[in-house]
A and B are shown apart, each in its own frame.
Chain A
Amino acid sequence: MEKPRNPYVIGNSVGNSQAFVGRDDVLREVLNVVRHDNQNAIVLFGQRRIGKTSVLRELEAKLPKQGDCLPVFVDLQDKAKWPLTKLLQEIAFKISDVVPDGTSDLRSEPETTFSNVWLPNVLKNLPSRKSLILLFDEFDVLAAAPDDAEQQANVAFFPYLRDILENVDPQLLSFVFAIGRNVRDLNDNALSLFKGIVTKRVSLLEYKDTIRLVRFSETNNTLTWTKDAIGKIWQQTNGHPYLTQCLCNCIWNTAYDNEFDKLPEITSEKVDAAIPNALEIGESAFEWLWDGLGPAECVVASALAGAGAKPMTGMQLKELLKESGVQIKSTFQ
């Protein structure tokens, strides 16, 4: 017998699944770069838990259909302290998995071989009108890891990649870098790589996409939502994908914790009741988000939170900060 299923996803990346919604602007921007004659790289940046990995996974699935691309997904989280040679070998393995008849042997001098021989060879032998696109997830771990050794990937990879970026044919190879902070907050080594590269913020979902996400449980016939309840979700999460999934997930769980005779209907009161639980579940994510903010961002966020849930103009915020003893420099104004 088919068991009712919670359609909301919190832990997994949702790219290339039914749970992925919106992000048309990001996908469009990436396609523009991929198709551009002179550009071949884009940085996707966004706060923690905003869904960058999901966007990359969606690109991995969609690009072959829309852009004649062969995408290669590379997660760098576990590779920050690898030596450059090992990282290049890993990338070569990953590329050879998607390029037909590709070999992955970099022989005894991976650094020279990869950029001078192996990669040009792979690009030369790509099927006609196809291009390769490298999707790097958690790219900023390379900038965050301590510089223990000169040949460690986090030190040596940036200039190495810069060299490739500048010399490769953009028609044949493109790069997408996902990072969890603003480009300007990266160290000098990383900044030099991203100089002149297009950046695109991965931000909140649009209203229509948020509603579509909330209504997943209507699509799979497990919940019904009143208009007020949906409005409440939008009011609470403002289209933040993680928060929306988290809140809806709690509502769904509570509805299915209890026995019922008919399809549970979610009202705005039930949304209110689920908020403490959602905050508890999301607590670690909030901590993680908070840890990722700079000192100035923390001050502004605290001031806004202290003022309560109401819209505020820039001038009002300035006044509020002034009352708390914070002096604003002219750049902020």
Chain B
Amino acid sequence: MVTFLLYFLLPLLGFLAAISILVIIFKVYDYKNRQALYNHQILPNQLAGRDKEIRRLAQQQILTGQSGAVIGAFGNERTAILDALRNPELYGDDADRFIFSTLDISALVKECSQTQFWEYALEPLQEKFANDTDSPLFKAYESCQNNDFKNRYLEKLIAQMKQEGWRLVLMLDRFEVLLHRPQLKSEEFFGGLRVLASSHHPSSLCVMIASNEPVWQLNEDTKCFNFGSPYLNFLEAGAVTLGAISDKEIDELLDNNIGYSFTDDDKYFLKDVSGNHPYLLQVVTVILIQAYRDKEENPLETTRIIFFDKAEEMLTNIFKFWSPKLCETFISVAQEFDISSFKREIKELNRQGFLRQENDKWQICSSSFAEFVKDKTVQELCQQKQNYGKT
């Protein structure tokens, strides 16, 4: 028995354990490699192809004291744009008078109150004037703090900022999550935000939201507790949608920024798979270059297969946050169903670079996205959103 244990069972268990450890190490290594591959930026940065949008938001909204919005399906891209807007070089001499504050709404606790929200939002302002406690601005801030950041006190603070020539640029990332924060989903919060940001021109509070839901959809979603003007109509005109870019712009990005020479077939493939969306182009270009480096026999096909997995993951995630109607529209286009009742959604998906019209027929821009949804049902794909909405 002892011999059996010593010479057979223990070595066998040791061997199996070693194999298991090796498998785990390999998996972790492979996962990290893949993550590194996908996160690697082959284009200059995640903002490639988005200069126009950044310039427009900075110079035509923030610089003139107006609010705006960044609308798009890909969170990384939206966040990168908000980050880019903090660059003082965009604002010339005025930059010194701007105070930037960024809040990721999804990081706020579910029971976050209006008091907590404004406490976080005004932290950079509080820090800036912390050494000047006798200043009228700091006193106005203190007054807010002592009165639970009620709208009336916030109005006075913003008025004081205007008087002194300061501007608070409040960036609210993942804004759509606010609708899932019960204490903030109120007329007092949304109505207050609207009044604070849009009552005067130029405003000393510029609200810059990033959301995967368009502003009109957010207004629709807040209708149930709104009896007056749409809460977010002050953002509509200053909203930029991160959609597809032109073939010419894609060619310029690929020719001038990568240091890698693509054939015309490669470029056609990249446009077809990415649907000319800069964010997807970034992802697919990385995979293709890696396929070439790995000396794959058929690099385009390999890329298509790898990207398809990635597309599946991305789309599933996107569907979670799209309204059921937007989701249904996308699937209806892919499966050539009747889309006559989805006019507004079609327009929105076109703006966001998911759909394009060719010969009077709507189609999905990215061939991988089209492939992924072609056999799926609405229930299958839009289920998660519906569940999300109920919670």
Question: Residues of A at under 8 Å CB distance from B?
Answer: 1-7, 9-17, 19, 48-49, 53, 57, 75-81, 90, 93-94, 97, 138, 140-141, 144-145, 180, 246, 249, 252-253, 256-257, 280-285, 287-288
B92 touches A2 (CB 8 A): yes
A6 touches B200 (CB 8 A): no
| A to B CB contacts below 8 Å, 6 in the list | A1-B92, A6-B64, A11-B233, A13-B201, A246-B237, A252-B60
B230 touches A288 (CB 8 A): yes
Other-chain contact of B56, A12, A253, A287, A288 (Cβ < 8 Å): A253
B64 touches A5 (CB 8 A): yes
B233 touches A144 (CB 8 A): no
Closest B residue by C-beta to A245: B237
CB neighbors of A among B197-251 (8 A):
197-203, 215-216, 219, 226-230, 233-238
Is residue B102 contacting chain A, with contact meaning CB distance below 8 A? no
Interface with A: B125-133, B187-195, B317-325, which one? B187-195
Question: Residues of B at under 8 Å CB distance from A?
Answer: 52, 55-56, 59-60, 63-67, 91-93, 151-152, 156, 187-192, 194-195, 197-203, 215-216, 219, 226-230, 233-238, 347
Complex CA gap A78/B55 in Å reads: 33
Complex CA gap A12/B200 in Å reads: 6
Residues of A near B152 (CB, < 8 A) are 90, 93-94
Residues of B near A281 (CB, < 8 A) are 236-237
Other-chain contact of B191, A78, A93, A253 (Cβ < 8 Å): A78
A78 touches B188 (CB 8 A): yes
Complex CA gap A13/B201 in Å reads: 6
The minimal Cβ–Cβ distance linking B197 to chain A, given in whole angstroms, is: 8
A288 touches B233 (CB 8 A): yes
Residues of B near A16 (CB, < 8 A) are 200
Residues of A near B236 (CB, < 8 A) are 10-11, 281, 284-285
A253 touches B228 (CB 8 A): no
What 10 A-B pairs come out closest when comparing CB atoms? A78-B191, A10-B237, A11-B234, A12-B201, A141-B228, A144-B227, A141-B227, A77-B191, A77-B228, A17-B201
Closest A residue by C-beta to B214: A284
The minimal Cβ–Cβ distance linking A16 to chain B, given in whole angstroms, is: 7
- Residue with the highest number of chain A CB atoms closer than 10 Å, among B67, B190, B215, B236: B236
A3 touches B202 (CB 8 A): no
Complex CA gap A138/B59 in Å reads: 31
Seed contacts A78-B191, A145-B227; 20 additional CB < 8 Å A-B pairs: A1-B92, A2-B92, A3-B92, A5-B63, A6-B64, A9-B64, A9-B201, A10-B237, A11-B198, A12-B201, A12-B202, A13-B199, A14-B201, A17-B201, A140-B228, A253-B56, A257-B52, A280-B347, A284-B215, A284-B219
Other-chain contact of B216, A57, A252, A284 (Cβ < 8 Å): A284
Other-chain contact of A138, B66, B198, B228 (Cβ < 8 Å): B228
B237 touches A249 (CB 8 A): yes
Complex CA gap A17/B227 in Å reads: 28
Complex CA gap A284/B201 in Å reads: 21
B202 touches A17 (CB 8 A): yes
Residues of B near A11 (CB, < 8 A) are 66-67, 198, 233-238
A5 touches B59 (CB 8 A): yes
The minimal Cβ–Cβ distance linking B172 to chain A, given in whole angstroms, is: 15
The minimal Cβ–Cβ distance linking B368 to chain A, given in whole angstroms, is: 28
Complex CA gap A80/B231 in Å reads: 14
Complex CA gap A296/B315 in Å reads: 44
